[in-house]
């Protein structure tokens, strides 16, 4: 399954690229809640937060990948990195902010938050609010029975195999991300979903579609009776010791845009990554079930269409990452690591075996180029290996 589909999907959002071409505007866009949308607050506990122990290390002046030497400083500068943090076994070993950002800056997740939405679905299953992810979505959202989602299961949505007629980057009338955002500014996004139509049989092939994650957001709100933001606050944000409130943009009637537009401090993203790296545990408490995270983060043979698996891209000339329940897996990794990924260079690497989390935020407009993309992934995995060697 090709990650290029994901990256290419945002090509129609040219207004973002044009505005972001100015550094100051680019930083502001990726560090301030969008003025185009209202937002809900994801409240932290307000009773103090869990501070990371720190043992900072120097990544050095250069790093080597495939026998070639690259400058660490140049990497951060050329890719418009806004923050870069590394956590190893609960200890913060690296933390740098760039382009005027700092520890208190709120960074835009883009699609990294899809992994958060997926985790909320897992919690709703644990809370017995969802009977099974094999259930048809119309069991919980009957308003979608006459839409393209009429035969789609929750699992299909998690794996983005719904088969609805949708093109992330445009090309189909009223069925692409740009049109969805324009619609959500003025109206209830559920109405947009009701207009979706079938393109192919659900569960037969992966196709990246933010509308599927939006449906999951509506599902969470329906079964919990509260907003995604409140559920996230109560079940995760306050439990992981988040140090600040986060903000989640909504449609015109207050439904979170569950596929993106989430703003949080870098350290709090890292705390969520640590939760995943620890397979759902915070201290002695199991916040999310290990079974759910094991199932959600890495695709398995026979658990969905072949193009979900690493190395099974539809186009063999493209990067063939794996995809499971809104998490990505690198086919070149030799371990059980996985990623939360957002457009324009938001990446969070998570390795449960070494309990390592590497977070990078940016407004890297060239993140989709083969050179930048490959160098970014190689650098993040190099850093993960480097800090683990240092820690031995």
Q: Is residue 123 left, alpha or beta, with left meaning phi > 0 and alpha meaning psi from -120 to 50?
A: alpha
End-to-end CA distance of the chain: 35
* CA-wise closest residue to 78 among 311, 334, 375: 375
Q: What per-residue confidence (pLDDT) applies to 34?
A: 75
Question: What is the crossing angle of helices 210-224 and 113-126, to 10°?
Answer: 40
All residues at 6 or more sequence positions from 256 whose CB lies less than 8 Å from its CB, including other chains: 40, 217, 221, 227, 228, 229, 248, 249, 250
Question: What is the crossing angle of helices 113-126 and 266-277, to 10°?
Answer: 50
Is 357 in contact with 273 (CB distance < 8 Å)? Answer: yes
| Cβ burial, residue 73 (10 Å; 0-12/13-18/19+) | exposed
Neighbours of 146 (CB within 10 A): 10
User: What are the distances in angstroms from CA 109 to CA 54, 121, 227, 264?
Assistant: 24, 19, 19, 8
Q: What per-residue confidence (pLDDT) applies to 303?
A: 86
Q: What string of pLDDT tens digits covers the 392 residues of the chain?
A: 544 444 444 444 444 444 445 666 666 667 777 788 899 999 998 777 889 999 999 998 998 877 889 999 999 998 899 999 999 999 999 999 999 999 999 999 999 999 999 999 999 999 999 999 999 999 999 999 999 999 999 999 999 999 999 988 755 554 588 899 999 999 999 999 999 999 999 999 999 999 999 999 999 999 999 999 999 999 999 999 999 999 999 999 999 999 999 999 999 999 999 999 999 999 999 999 999 999 999 888 888 888 888 876 554 433 578 999 999 998 877 788 999 999 889 999 999 999 999 999 998 877 666 566 778 888 999 999 999 988 76
User: What are the distances in angstroms from CA 354 to CA 132, 253, 313, 350?
Assistant: 31, 42, 28, 9
Is 306 in contact with 281 (CB distance < 8 Å)? Answer: no
Q: Go through the chain and tell me how many residues it has.
A: 392
b (16+ CB within 10 A) / e for 178-201: bbbbebbeeebbbebbbebebbee
* Domain assignments of the chain as residue spans, ordered by start: 3-390
CA dihedral sign, ordered 38, 44, 49, 51: negative
Write down the pTM of the prediction.
0.91
Neighbours of 374 (CB within 10 A): 14
The H or E element containing residue 63 is strand 62-65
The DSSP 8-state label assigned to residue 83 in this structure reads: E
Q: What are phi and psi of 222, to 5 degrees?
A: -70, -45
- Distance (Å, whole) CA 336 – CA 353: 7
Lay out the sheet containing 262-264: strands in order across: 39-42, 246-249, 262-264, 107-108
Topology given in CATH for the domain delimited by 3-390: Beta-lactamase (3.40.710)
CA dihedral sign, ordered 195, 263, 291, 311: positive
The H or E element containing residue 389 is helix 370-390
Q: What per-residue confidence (pLDDT) applies to 170?
A: 58
Torsion of CA 295, 297, 299, 305, to 10 degrees: 90
Is 267 in contact with 54 (CB distance < 8 Å)? Answer: no
Q: Are strands 281-282 and 91-97 parallel, antiparallel or unpaired?
A: unpaired
Torsion of CA 3, 141, 151, 190, to 10 degrees: -50
Q: Are strands 262-264 and 39-42 parallel, antiparallel or unpaired?
A: unpaired
* CA-wise closest residue to 294 among 350, 242, 347: 350
Is 72 in contact with 60 (CB distance < 8 Å)? Answer: yes
């Amino acid at each position: 399954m090709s990650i290029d589909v994901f990256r290419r999907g945002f090509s129609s959002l040219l207004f973002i690229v044009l505005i972001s071409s100015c550094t100051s505007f680019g930083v502001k866009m990726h560090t301030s809640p969008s003025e185009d949308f209202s937002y809900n607050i994801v409240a932290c506990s307000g009773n103090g937060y869990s501070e990371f122990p720190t043992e900072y290390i120097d990544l050095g002046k250069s790093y080597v990948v495939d026998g070639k030497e690259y400058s660490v400083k140049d990497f951060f500068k050329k890719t418009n990195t806004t923050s870069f943090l590394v956590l190893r076994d609960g200890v913060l070993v690296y933390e740098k902010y760039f382009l005027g950002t700092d520890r208190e800056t709120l960074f835009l997740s883009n699609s990294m938050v899809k992994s958060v939405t997926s985790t909320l679905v897992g919690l709703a299953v644990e809370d017995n609010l969802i009977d099974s992810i094999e259930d048809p979505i119309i069991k919980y959202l009957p308003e979608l029975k006459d839409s393209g989602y009429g035969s789609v299961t929750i699992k299909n949505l998690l794996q983005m195999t719904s088969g609805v007629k949708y093109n992330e980057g445009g090309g189909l009338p009223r069925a692409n991300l740009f049109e969805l955002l324009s619609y959500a500014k003025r109206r209830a996004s559920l109405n947009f979903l009701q207009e979706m139509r079938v393109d192919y049989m659900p569960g037969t092939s992966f196709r990246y579609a933010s509308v599927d994650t939006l449906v999951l957001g509506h599902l969470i709100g329906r079964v919990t009776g509260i907003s995604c933001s409140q559920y996230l606050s109560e079940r995760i944000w306050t439990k992981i010791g988040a140090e600040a409130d986060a903000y989640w943009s909504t449609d015109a009637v207050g439904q979170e845009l569950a596929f993106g537009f989430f703003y949080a401090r870098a350290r709090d993203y890292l705390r969520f990554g640590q939760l995943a790296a620890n397979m759902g545990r915070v201290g002695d408490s199991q916040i999310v079930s290990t079974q759910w995270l094991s199932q959600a983060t890495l695709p398995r043979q026979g658990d969905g269409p072949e193009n979900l698996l690493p190395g099974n891209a539809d186009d063999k000339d493209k990067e063939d990452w794996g995809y499971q329940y809104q998490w990505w897996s690198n086919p070149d990794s030799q371990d059980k690591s996985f990623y939360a990924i957002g457009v324009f260079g938001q990446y969070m690497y998570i390795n449960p075996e070494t309990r390592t989390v590497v977070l990078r935020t940016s407004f890297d407009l060239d993140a989709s180029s083969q050179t930048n993309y490959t160098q970014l992934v190689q650098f993040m995995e190099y850093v993960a290996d480097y800090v683990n060697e240092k820690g031995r």
